[in-house]
Amino acid sequence: MPKLEKPREKAGDRVRRQILDHAEALFAERGFFGSSVRDLTTRAGVRLAAINYHFGTKEELFRSVLMRRAEELGAERLERLAQVPKRGPAAARTRAIVSAFIAPVLARAMTRDLGWRNYFTLIAQTGSSRLFALELVADAFNRVALAFVVSFGEVFPRASRRTLHHAYQLMLAATLYTFADNRRLDSLTSGRIRSDDFAAQSEDLIEMLSTGLFALCAKPASTRPAPRASPQSCPKGPARKGSRRRPT
């Protein structure tokens, strides 16, 4: 049977991909505010008109960079999450949830695709900031995040909603930092341990998160400190104009 040839990439699609690739690398290197559209046109070898045509604004370009890989990554995470056993020891199910979250990242970090490396660096920077552009993609990221929160709740039905959300937040934060490839380990150990040794780090990361999140979610509610009131929940009059809701 003859092999089916892949359809040729249209010129417009090729230019769009070229812009996204270079924007991803530039944003990862300099951040959103440190990257100008002029920098991008120079690096990508395109005219300003091409960026305006395909994306319109710098904010929309940034959103497109974040969403291009987030959709693929989120889809695989949900597929793996659906395979987590509904019954069995809570510790084993917790580990399966953590693995479902981390394994898709590890698989891509281990490839030679520098685009994924740039993306993980970028998403780590973005996730630890108060960048307003996060609101442009919050709904897409929240859909996957809440699925993991629900999964933790199925394993630990007595855990509070607050605890379950904290469990996800801690898992996310540790994963983002681990795959950021920020050279911190290289500096700390004079190069004896590398930040891009993702396989070794992932093994330890899964072990740490599985053990820690199990202990967190299984902890009796009576032993927890009372939650502090959120400033947003205190009646202090009407909200200020221009305030923005932060994504979960």
Residue 49 lies in a domain: no
Residue 204 confidence (pLDDT): 96
**Both tokens of residue 219?**
């902890």
CATH of residue 144: 1.10.357.10
The domain tally of the chain equals 1
Task: Return the number of other C-beta atoms located less than 10 Å from residue 77's C-beta.
Answer: 20
Question: What pLDDT score does 226 carry?
Answer: 58
Q: Per-residue pLDDT tens for 92-101?
A: 999 999 999 9
Joined together, the tokens standing for residue 124 give 């780590």
| 195 inside domain | yes
Q: Mind listing the pLDDT tens digit for each residue in 71-89? A: 899 999 999 999 999 999 9
| Confidence (pLDDT) at 149 | 98
Q: For residue 80, is it within any domain?
A: yes
Chain centroid to Cα 235, Å, comes to 33
d(CA 164, CA 13): 41
> How do residues 12-66 score in pLDDT, each as one tens digit?
788 999 999 999 999 999 988 889 999 999 999 999 999 999 999 998 999 899 8
Is residue 73 a part of any domain in this protein?
yes
Q: What is the pLDDT of residues 105-151, one digit of tens each?
A: 999 999 888 899 999 999 888 877 766 656 666 777 899 999 999 99
For residue 92, is it within any domain? yes
Domain that holds residue 132: 68-220
What is the distance of C-alpha 35 from the center of its chain? Answer: 21
Which residues, including other chains, have CB under 8 Å from residue 26's CB and lie 6 or more apart? 35, 39, 40, 43
- As given in the structure block, the two tokens for residue 7 are 């359809």
Residue 22 lies in a domain: no
Nearest to 133 by CA among 23, 21, 15: 23
Q: Are 148 and 171 in contact (CB under 8 A)?
A: yes
Q: 10-14: which pairs have CB atoms within 8 A and are 24 or more residues apart?
A: 12/54
pLDDT of residue 243: 40
Domain-located, residue 129: yes
State how far the Cα of 133 lies from the Cα of 59, in Å rounded to an integer. Answer: 7
Confidence of residue 10 (pLDDT cuts 50, 70, 90): confident
Average pLDDT score, the chain = 85
Element (H, E) at 168: helix 161-178
> What distance in Å separates the CA atoms of residue 188 and residue 35, rounded to the nearest whole number?
29
With respect to residue 6, please indicate whether it lies within any of the assigned structural domains.
no
